Copies of this chain bind each other. A is one copy, B any other.
Amino acid sequence: MPTAVVRRAAALVRLFLRASHPARMVVIGFAMAVLLGAGLLMLPVSTEQGSTTDWVTALFTATSAVCVTGLVVVDTAAHWSTFGEVVVLGLIQVGGLGIMTLASLLGMLVVRRLGLRMRRSAQAETKSLGLGDVRSVIAGVITLSLVMEAITALALTLRFVLGYGQSWGEGAYFGVFHAVSAFNNAGFALYPDSLQRYATDPLVCLPVLFAVIVGGLGFPVLFEIGRRLRGKRRHWSLHARVTLLAYSVLLGVGVLAFGAFEWNNPETLGPLSVGGKLLVGLFHGTTPRTAGFTTVDIGEINPTTMLVNDVLMFVGGGSAGTAGGIKVTTFALLAFVILTEVRGESQVHVLGRKLPVGVQRQALTVVLVAVGMVFTATLLLLVITPFGLDATLFESISAFGTVGLSTGITEQLPRAAELVLIVLMFTGRLGPITMASALALRERGRRYDLPEERPIVG
């Protein structure tokens, strides 16, 4: 038995290091971007004071930027110079483009190899997911990102200049920074209190939400929507339908929960007009889908709202987009498995399609490994820091899901806890994607058959 365990653990390690080259390349590429970014941020030119930044702070900031998480141990505008801010912005853009491209390509690889039985429909299927070939995926992701970021930046710039009297230069800088940060679901802001000063301004909040949602749906879904907008009517893929359904449901749950639980909280929605409550509720119902911006102080939301947010942040956004978490499809597939059980059927049907057994197990594995990661990190934070379960669990899920929301403890964490979060942000960003595709690509036929036996469940 111990030998078997060691052998299996080794297989797990090999899984990431050797067995699947595409997954390994993703990890190495992201690690290099993080290290390069940290190196740049350590330079004196990157800080407002012109002094060197210690390596943990630089590494934390670079990881948070590349993984589009948005957690910060130093205030972005106060600590970093404009050069440093541009480095952060560049890392966000590289991280966002990288994750969209690589996740789309890995998804394409999986669908191509395993998606459908017949070669012809497999080709049709990958085309319908917008995954024709590698170059067109890269071109599509870059075009989409830049266009959406430009639209959002324009809207924000106009508002900052016309509504808040900023100069065109300053307005454009703030507009571009927050547009890129929003589309990539990064959550970095140039204000110490995120976007709280714009809490009741729909002309700032709505463009940000637009960018957050578009970026968070994921490239394959956006590609399908785009095709339909261009008048090419075809059937929706299962992936797009599940994503849109689950994303809408979670958005609704988020808005309702935040609105209901915070309506009378004097520190959050309490003092606002009904219109203001609705706008902030909409904003904070969306932002746990790993956007990370805030328009109220997250440290003041009540523990009920916090627990709902924990779940929403863990689920995250759409696959192959800039959002993190285990992804809404993974979550929805498990819901459909339960529905199958309730209906007493032997096969899992999802919106008129049959779900392969392998995919069910992959979804389960992704969720349980994610739970294990968040649990381990929370445990470590409880040991290392003086904070309670509320704050440490929230922080861990925020880092794992690349959300960037915090109850305010990030800047007070000891070094060891910062290192825990660095590892968690990195594995949270790449873990679910690489694990899911690596698992799917390893899927193979049965080699031998054992007698079936049924233990008692429950």
Contact = CB atoms under 8 A, between A and B. Distances in A.
Interface string A106-118: 0100110011110
A458 interface: yes
A176 to B, nearest CB: 30
A453 B337 contact: no
A78 interface: no
B446 A345 contact: yes
A266 B352 CA distance: 60
A435 B442 CA distance: 33
A390 interface: yes
B330 A450 contact: no
Interface in A165-215: none
Contacts of A220: 456
Interface string A310-353: 01000000011000001101100110011111111111111011
Given A329-B456, A342-B12, A454-B115, A307 B443 contact: no
This chain: copies in complex: 2
A2 interface: no
Nearest to A439: B341
A458 B326 contact: yes
Contacts of A6: none
A10 B392 CA distance: 39
User: In terms of DSSP, what is the predominant structure of the interface of chain A?
Assistant: helix
Given A237-B453, A307-B379, A458-B330, A442 B344 contact: yes
Interface stretch (A60-68, A136-144, A360-368): A360-368
B458 A436 contact: yes
A15 B338 CA distance: 13
A358 to B, nearest CB: 6
A150 interface: no
Interface stretch (A44-52, A381-389, A415-423): A381-389
A425 interface: no
A11 interface: yes
A253 interface: no
A426 to B, nearest CB: 15
A440 B346 CA distance: 10
A369 interface: yes
Interface in A279-330: 302-304, 306-308, 311, 319-320, 326-327, 329-330
A88 interface: no
A102 interface: no
A435 B458 contact: yes
A121 to B, nearest CB: 9
B107 A456 contact: yes
Of the listed residues A125, A218, A437, A439, the one surrounded by the most CB atoms of chain B closer than 10 A to its CB is A439
A231 interface: no
B304 A383 contact: yes
Interface of A: 8, 11-12, 15, 19, 103, 107, 110-111, 114-117, 125, 218, 220, 237-239, 242-243, 261, 302-304, 306-308, 311, 319-320, 326-327, 329-330, 333-334, 337-350, 352-366, 368-369, 375, 378-379, 382-383, 388-390, 392-393, 432-433, 435-437, 439-440, 442-447, 449-458
What 3 A-B pairs are tightest by C-beta distance, nearest first?
Answer: A436-B458, A344-B442, A432-B458
14 contacts: A238-B454, A303-B382, A311-B375, A320-B456, A326-B458, A341-B361, A341-B439, A342-B365, A344-B442, A344-B444, A345-B444, A359-B454, A363-B457, A366-B458
